[in-house]
């Protein structure tokens, strides 16, 4: 379609962006508070405008076409820029917003204990922090800064590696008093994790203790749950050394000596590619680097 202007109407683009995120015109309609037919019509108008099919409409639902996959990042960046600009415009002139989406465990056991220092250094920066239970929770992130747990190759060369994690068994001092060596773990309550590689099976392999049988073993969906159970004195869990340092320093938990192994992954921070770089983002990354690297 030949047009004098090159940018389609925003409501067409929004219908496409929400439909691409939900892969459903019905769900998009619910989010946009319009009818399903209106969403479908707006997407069709956009496809006609671009002279390209953005979706493959299949019996089981929607699927992005190659054209849709190529176009979607530009649309996301455009809305992120609009959101950032509007947020800045509506804010008090003396305040600068910084949004941070962080791995749940990192947010719970490191960020919340330390970010007060950043707030004191930069009192004009207004922080919003939200947690991510799993990596897929970052898929539609609009945060300025993201803090992930994983492999560096996953996040790209501009990623700031924060830690070199050790995976350590931790427990209360009362339980620790009963432990003389790894073989004693067989008689203790073991708090394990599901869905991640840093579990007791990995630990046993790294310690060459594959014959060790845990007779009393329970499973939790997040590191935070397992660590809170350990704090309650309910058993022994594996922890990332960086995140439990303050807890161990307080004496609430004890690291079992000579039983740490390298974690499979590490914590990383990066600037969200869909958010425009800001001075506050740079200040936060610089502060993180000073905390972990310098």
- Bridge partners of 238? 169
What pLDDT is recorded for position 72? 93
Closest C-alpha among 188, 154, 193 to residue 174: 188
Q: How confident is the model at residue 95 (pLDDT cuts 50, 70, 90)?
A: low
User: Are 263 and 198 a contacting pair, CB within 8 Å?
Assistant: yes
Mean pLDDT of the chain: 89
User: So what's the pLDDT on residue 66?
Assistant: 94
Mean pLDDT over 96-112 rounds to 92
Strands 125-132, 254-255: pairing is unpaired
CB atoms within 10 A of CB 224: 17
Question: Residue 230 in contact with residue 237, Cβ under 8 Å?
Answer: yes
Pick the more confident residue, 197 or 255. 255
pTM: 0.64
Residue 191's nearest CA partner among 132, 154, 163, 232 is 232
What structural domains and CATH numbers belong to the chain? 10-87 (1.10.10.10), 91-164+266-292 (3.40.190.10), 166-262 (3.40.190.10)
DSSP 183-229: GGGGGSEEEEESSSS-SHHHHHHHTT-TT---SEEEEESSHHHHHHH
pLDDT mean over 26-33: 92
> CA 64 to CA 57: how far, in whole Å?
9
Sheet-wide strand order for 145-150: 125-132, 96-103, 145-150, 266-271, 160-161
Q: Percent of the chain, pLDDT > 70?
A: 93
Output the CA angle 241-246-247, nearest 5 degrees: 85
Q: What is the pLDDT of residues 169-227, one digit of tens each?
A: 999 999 999 999 999 999 999 999 988 888 999 999 999 999 999 999 999 988 999 99
In the structure encoding, which two tokens stand for residue 146, read together? 């993201």
Please name the residues in contact with 18: beta carbons below 8 A apart, sequence gap of 6 or more: 27, 28, 31, 32, 39
- The residue with greater pLDDT, 284 or 138, is 284
Of 22-36, 71-85, 144-158, 225-239, the least confident:
144-158
Instruction: Please provide residue 243's backbone torsions phi and psi, each rounded to the nearest 5 degrees.
Output: -75, -25
- Give the length of the chain: 294
**pLDDT band for position 93 (cuts 50, 70, 90):** very low
């Amino acid at each position: 379609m030949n047009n004098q202007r090159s940018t389609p109407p925003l409501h067409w683009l929004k219908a496409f962006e929400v439909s691409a995120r939900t892969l459903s015109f019905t769900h998009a309609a619910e989010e946009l508070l319009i009818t399903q037919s209106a969403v479908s019509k707006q997407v069709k108008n956009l496809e006609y405008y671009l002279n390209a099919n953005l979706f493959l409409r299949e019996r089981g639902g929607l699927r992005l076409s190659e054209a849709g996959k190529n176009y979607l990042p530009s649309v996301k960046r455009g809305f992120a820029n609009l959101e950032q600009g509007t947020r800045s415009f509506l804010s008090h002139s003396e305040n600068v917003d910084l949004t941070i989406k962080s791995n749940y465990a990192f947010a719970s056991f490191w960020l919340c204990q330390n970010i007060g220092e950043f707030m004191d250094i930069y009192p004009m920066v207004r922080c919003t922090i939200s947690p991510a239970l799993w990596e897929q929770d970052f898929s539609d992130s609009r945060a300025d800064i993201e803090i992930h747990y994983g492999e560096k190759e996953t996040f790209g060369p501009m990623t700031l590696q924060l830690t070199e994690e050790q995976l350590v068994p931790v427990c209360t001092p009362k339980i620790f008093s009963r432990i003389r060596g790894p073989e004693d773990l067989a008689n203790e309550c073991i708090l394990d994790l599901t869905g991640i590689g840093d579990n007791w099976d990995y630990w046993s392999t790294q310690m060459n203790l594959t014959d060790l049988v845990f007779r009393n073993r329970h499973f939790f969906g997040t590191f935070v749950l397992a660590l809170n159970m350990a704090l309650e004195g309910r058993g022994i869990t594996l922890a990332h050394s960086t995140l439990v340092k303050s807890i161990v320093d307080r004496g609430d938990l004890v690291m079992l000596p000579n039983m740490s192994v390298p974690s499979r992954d590490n914590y990383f921070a990066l600037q969200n590619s869909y958010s425009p770089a800001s001075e506050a983002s740079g200040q936060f990354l610089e502060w993180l680097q000073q905390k972990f690297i310098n």
